[in-house]
Structures are given as C-alpha cells and as structure tokens.
Structure 1
C-alpha cells in the first residue's frame, strides 16, 4: 500500500522543539499538580524508595517497612533514593517532590527515542513525526511521568533497546552490538519485570532476518547472554527467597494479589474495553477512578478507539487481499517484525498474567507504546482518511491531558500517603 502522507512543511527542528516542550511541560504539570498518592500504586512505590534510602539495600517482601512493590527490581528505587537524598531526608515530602520532578527529565528522552525508532524502522518523515506526536501527547505517558513509579523508566529503557535493535539490524552489526541490546533489556527487567516481554520479540526479529543461520543464532545468543548476565541474579535471588522467579507467590501470600481476569461473560469484555479506552485516552483509572471525564471527552475517547480499530482493520484487510492476489507468503517488511513482535509479546504477557495468575493493569502493555505508535502512524499513512484519524487522536489526547491537569488539583491527598 502506498504512503498517502506528503513531507511536512514545517522545519524539523521546530516540530521537534514543539513536541519536546509540550511533553515536558505536561510532565512537569502532572508532577506539580497531582496530589501525592493519587496515582495507583504510588504510595507503595514511594515506600520502596524510602526503604532503599533508609536501609541502603533491597527489601524482602513482608519485612517491616516494605511494600508489595518490594517484588520489583532495584534500578528505579535505588536511583530514586539517591535523587531524593539531594532534596530532603529519607521519606520526606521534599524528597518525594524532588523524585517526581527529576524523572520528568526522561520525557524528552522518550520523545527523542520514539522519533529515533521510527526512523530506524525506515518510516517516512511524516510517519515518524506522527508517531512522535502520539508518544509526546499521550495522557497516560504524561501522567505516569509525573508520578513516583517505575513504569516511565521501564518504557524508556525498552524504547532504547528497540532503537538499538532496529539500528543494529539495519547496519548488520555483530555480536557485541547484540550483547549491548541484551544488557539494556536486562536493565529494563531489573526496573520492572514486565520488560521481559521484550526479550522474545527481539530474539524473533533477529532470527527471521535474512542471513546465515549460524550468524543469526549467534546474535540471538548474544542478546540472551546480555540479558541473563545483567538480570539473571535477580531471578536467582527471588527463587532463593520466595521459591519462584518473580516473588509473585510472596505478594499473594501477603494478601496483595487479585483474582484472575474473568473472560467468560460479555460484561467482562465490556469492562476490558472500557479499561483500554481509559488508559489509552482518558486515564482516570490511573487516578483511582476519582474523576469523571466530561461527556465530550468521553465521546472523543470512544471515537478515537473506534477509529484506531478501523485503521488497523482496514490495513490488515488490504494486506491480506494483496498477498492473496499475488500469492505471496514471504515477509514483505522484515524490519517491521521487531515492532510487531514487541507489541504482540507485551499483549501476550499481559493476557497470560491476567488470565492465568491474577489480573494486572493494562498499562503494563505500555512498555510497547513507542513501537505501537510507529505501527499506528504507519497504518494511518496507508489510508486517505488516516490524517483525519491522527488529528482526532491528538485532539483527544490534548483535551484529556488539559482536563486532567485542571481537575487533579481538586482531589485530596491520599490519607495513606505518609511522609516522615
């Protein structure tokens, strides 16, 4: 299918500066205006940061002063403890706000990585800028960037790994480059275990690339070795302490687990669709459902989700029809295997966790937000009406973020958000 989007008329530097400035302003706005503890899990994340600051070591699930987030790896919490110490005493409100503001600095990095990923995947300039705008203005990404949690750093590290993987495949670099990719993935896993979903995606992309079979397997092994050497010790620690690889059994035993996600009724699927719509466009669920979005914003969110589905469906139908007519069975764009596998793997990880173990938030899928944005922008560019869909999505995102920033300050500080 032909790309219907023409080259942008604005200068690249002006577009990039505008997107980075808007994203950073949004992040700082959420950091300053969101009442402490209002984002889901923020009190537990903050408890973890405080534990690292006070004890200088990793907590064990169930010990005094720890929270259920003690299940997570140490990267975000150790760094945040050090950052917080620059602003105030361990566990103090000054340290809390310092940590919040510090991590907003990652927002421009994520925006730049989104642009770099699109270009590494050979997207046209209009598609690359569209993908970057989808990342820069997404309300959930802005909201989490302004709260104390490990998602923002995880998403950024995953985006870095994907950029390295895409560039490495395009350049044909060897084992050391693939080892570095594995190290970054390992660091992401040590930040939040959901990043492990990126590993099979990268391995698949390496193995399906053209080239000698032995070379492909050697490069895949280098990625795996890098990830295992970086993060393997953490899984061994969990196995020794809790009897499983992630500490999930200890979380369940401490009473913090949830029931598996129901999938046997229409109402369950309606609830999942509502959750998806919320997290993609109007993330009130991230703020404990303490807010009710105005009807116009709700309508825009539903319309945006429907249009996204229509875009993906139209492109898939056109692709299948074209292959059937040509009798083609080969992969037309090997470079797109990486982002497709990353999104599919993140979705599969979420579904397996939620259906087989206990239900988790669909925001975990946002580790694949940058490749998803590139794929959506690419799909929209294949349709004559794709530009209109992009405008609707960006208007929805901007309206939702603006409304959240105006409504969040009116919420009370959570009573269980304690400072020393």
Structure 2
C-alpha cells in the first residue's frame, strides 16, 4: 500500500467518522426535543415495544391493546424491549436513542457501500455519506421510535458486503449477505425488495450460486414469520387482520407530480413524517428543490459515466436494489395502499451515489468541494428550520 493510498483512506475514514458522529449527535438532539407521539406511527411502534415488555411474547392483531403495527416483523421491537427493560423509567427516550445510534452507524455503512462503487473516489464517497449524515428527514426519523433506521442499518450492511471484494468462498460470502438481508426483513418487511434487487443483480452477472445460497439463507431465517402469519391470519403478511385493530387507512393513487413531490419530501424535509403539523415556508421548499436538483444531475451523471467512473458489479447491485425498491413502492401506491416512500428507502444508497456523482462533475477539484459545501449548507438550513419549528411545538405542548 503506497503512502498516497494510506492518506486517501485516512481522509475518507476521518471524514466518515466525523459525519457519523455529527449525525448521531443531531439525531440525539431530535430524540430529546421531538414531542412524544408526533412522528408518524410512533405511538403504534411504542405500543409494540410495551407489549413485548409486558407479555414477553409477540403481539397478535385483534387482541386487546394491540395496535396496527403488530403486523410488522419483530426485530426492532425485540432490541427496543431489551433496551427499555434495562433503562427503566426513561425507557421511551432510551429507545429513541437506540434509533439515533442506528443513524450514526448508517452513515458509516453508506461510505462502505460507496467506496467500492466509486472506485475509491474520495470526494464522491464523502459527498454521499454527507447526504445521509445531514439529511433532515433521516435525522428526525432516527430521533423517534420506529423500525426504519435499524432495518436500513441491516439492509445497507448487506449491500456493503455484497459489493465488497473478498477472498472467502463465494457460498459463504452469499450466506453472510443472506443473514444480513434476513435481519433487515425481520426488522421491517418492506426491506424485502432488497433481496429481489440483489437477485436481479446476480442474474444479470450470472452469479447463480450466490443467488441460490442467499435466497435459501433468507428463507430459512425468515420463514417462521410467514408461517406464523398463515396460521394466525390466513395470509403471509398479516395485512388482512389490520382491520381487527380498528385502524383504517385511506389512500388514493397519485399522479406524476404528486409522486415526485412525495419522493422529494421524503428525501429532504420531514414535514410529512411529522404528520404535516409543520408547514415549510417558500425558502425551505426552494432549498429542498435545490437538493433534489443536485440528485437529478447526479443520476444523469451516473447514466452518462457509468462505464468509466464506477465499478461494474457494485454499481449493478446498488442500482438494481434502487430500481426494484422504487418500483415496488410505485406498485403499492397505484393500488391505493397507504405506504410512504420510506418503504423504498433501500434505494437510499443510490441517491447517496447520485449526490456524490453531482459533486464530481466539475473538472476543478475546488468546484466539487464547493458544490458539496453548498448542498450540505442547504440540508443544515432545513434542519435548523425544523429544529426551531419543532421546538416551538414542544413549548406549546408544555403550556
């Protein structure tokens, strides 16, 4: 390893560590300041944790005191119940802190994904990690009780391992990827497109052994959950029994503009996640649109430069997972199912890659760092507005 290579890796390592720490601190601040129950679905997620603490068994839809999120796979709730039991009285805040910890880890794993995809491009890797680290939506989400963050941690880890060159036997490598995918699915079922995306990528590269081993591993580790649902509810996911909880969801198919707006919102601003109790002023919408424009430019850059700027297999895996995740979300939305774009967050590594691609477009190195600085400043500005607005809501609730 040359001195230049060591310096390059050290730069990425220190930058990623700094971004991960900053994101962790910001998420902890969100955990301490958000009004309890304000984030979307938080009361229902917390209800699952409390049930596990109380009954030491999995909740069953239709039983007294069981909410609609009992349809969710139990991975996060098991972790959270352990933390809550150890924490005692401040259990709710402790579980929020568990989510915040996941956000810090997520930033580090994002860099592990981007490093091989970008052929060890320092600026692209740091820019992609910064997009995740300073993302207002992800920070607010990770300051609440929910299963998304840790599902993403396991899912991103699976993708990072899948795109990594290794000397271990191919079957063992694929089995370990399958274990991580299974953890993601057992934390949140909406991570299933991650496996489908990897299967598609393996098929494109004719890696049949990896495909078979990974799928078999996931099936063995997650099959019990689907069998349980069949026995209890008569369907694989338990969706048919959600109505037994008294919860009703209404959703209409969205047009192209509405779809674009909700995607942009869930990539930039936490307004929808906070039940639209806060309304973004014009300048916040403009900042979100500017970040969205950076992502669009980055996606175009990836399409134009994919042969010379990116490693073939890692890019195939990341892109396939993103496409399958977004298509799965679109299909559900068009059927009128009430699913937020968070269910397509397995595509986030690709959006992080796009953020990195946009900043590497200028030939002058200083120009790329400038674009990164401006994009990060826009994200921080939106985050600052969110903090001020949410703090005012917290003060109002105390009066």
| 1:316-362 deviation line (CA, Å, top 9, x unaligned) | 3x469x99xxxxxxx98233100001111110121122222513111
| 1:365-394 deviation line (CA, Å, top 9, x unaligned) | 223313431244135424557655544432
Could you list the runs of 5+ residues in structure 2 that have no partner in the other structure? 1-6
1:411 is paired with a residue whose SS is helix
1:18 paired to 2:15: no
How far, CA to CA, are the matches of 1:46 and 1:372 in structure 2? 30
* 1:187 to partner: Cα distance: 1.2
Match of 1:124 in 2: 121
Match of 2:106 in 1: 110
1:301 paired to 2:295: no
Task: Tell me if the contact between 2:301 and 2:361 (Cα under 8 Å) persists in the aligned partners.
Answer: no
Could you list the runs of 5+ residues in structure 1 that have no partner in the other structure? 1-6, 324-330, 416-420
* 1:408 to partner: Cα distance: 1.0
What is the root-mean-square deviation in Å for CA atoms of aligned residues? 2.7
Pick closer, same or farther for the CA change 1:414–1:228 going to 2, 3 Å: farther
**Pairwise mapping of residues 20-419 of structure 1 onto structure 2 (< 5 A)?**
20-88=20-88, 94-121=90-117, 122-168=119-165, 171=167, 173-209=169-205, 216-252=207-243, 254-263=245-254, 268-313=255-300, 315-316=302-303, 318=304, 333-356=312-335, 358-384=337-363, 389-412=371-394
How far, CA to CA, are the matches of 1:305 and 1:56 in structure 2? 44
* 1:255 to partner: Cα distance: 4.7
Pick closer, same or farther for the CA change 1:233–1:297 going to 2, 3 Å: same
* 1:68 to partner: Cα distance: 0.5
Task: Tell me if the contact between 2:268 and 2:288 (Cα under 8 Å) persists in the aligned partners.
Answer: yes
Task: Tell me if the contact between 2:137 and 2:270 (Cα under 8 Å) persists in the aligned partners.
Answer: yes
Task: Tell me if the contact between 2:100 and 2:142 (Cα under 8 Å) persists in the aligned partners.
Answer: yes
* 1:67 to partner: Cα distance: 0.6
Task: Tell me if the contact between 1:106 and 1:156 (Cα under 8 Å) persists in the aligned partners.
Answer: yes
Task: Tell me if the contact between 2:299 and 2:354 (Cα under 8 Å) persists in the aligned partners.
Answer: no
TM-score by length of 1: 0.84
Task: Tell me if the contact between 1:138 and 1:280 (Cα under 8 Å) persists in the aligned partners.
Answer: yes
Task: Tell me if the contact between 1:339 and 1:375 (Cα under 8 Å) persists in the aligned partners.
Answer: no
How far, CA to CA, are the matches of 2:72 and 2:302 in structure 1? 38
2:38 is paired with a residue whose SS is coil
Task: Tell me if the contact between 2:45 and 2:145 (Cα under 8 Å) persists in the aligned partners.
Answer: yes
How far, CA to CA, are the matches of 1:39 and 1:73 in structure 2? 20
| 1:205-248 deviation line (CA, Å, top 9, x unaligned) | 22333xxx6xx322211000111111111011111211211111
How far, CA to CA, are the matches of 1:250 and 1:392 in structure 2? 48
Pick closer, same or farther for the CA change 1:299–1:333 going to 2, 3 Å: same
User: More helix per residue: 1 or 2?
Assistant: 2
2:64 is paired with a residue whose SS is coil
How far, CA to CA, are the matches of 1:190 and 1:357 in structure 2? 25
How many residue pairs end up in the alignment?
386
Pick closer, same or farther for the CA change 1:407–1:8 going to 2, 3 Å: farther
Pick closer, same or farther for the CA change 1:8–1:302 going to 2, 3 Å: farther
* 1:151 to partner: Cα distance: 0.3
How far, CA to CA, are the matches of 1:250 and 1:413 in structure 2? 38
Task: Tell me if the contact between 1:198 and 1:346 (Cα under 8 Å) persists in the aligned partners.
Answer: yes
Pick closer, same or farther for the CA change 1:300–1:336 going to 2, 3 Å: same
Pick closer, same or farther for the CA change 1:9–1:179 going to 2, 3 Å: closer
Task: Tell me if the contact between 1:139 and 1:401 (Cα under 8 Å) persists in the aligned partners.
Answer: yes
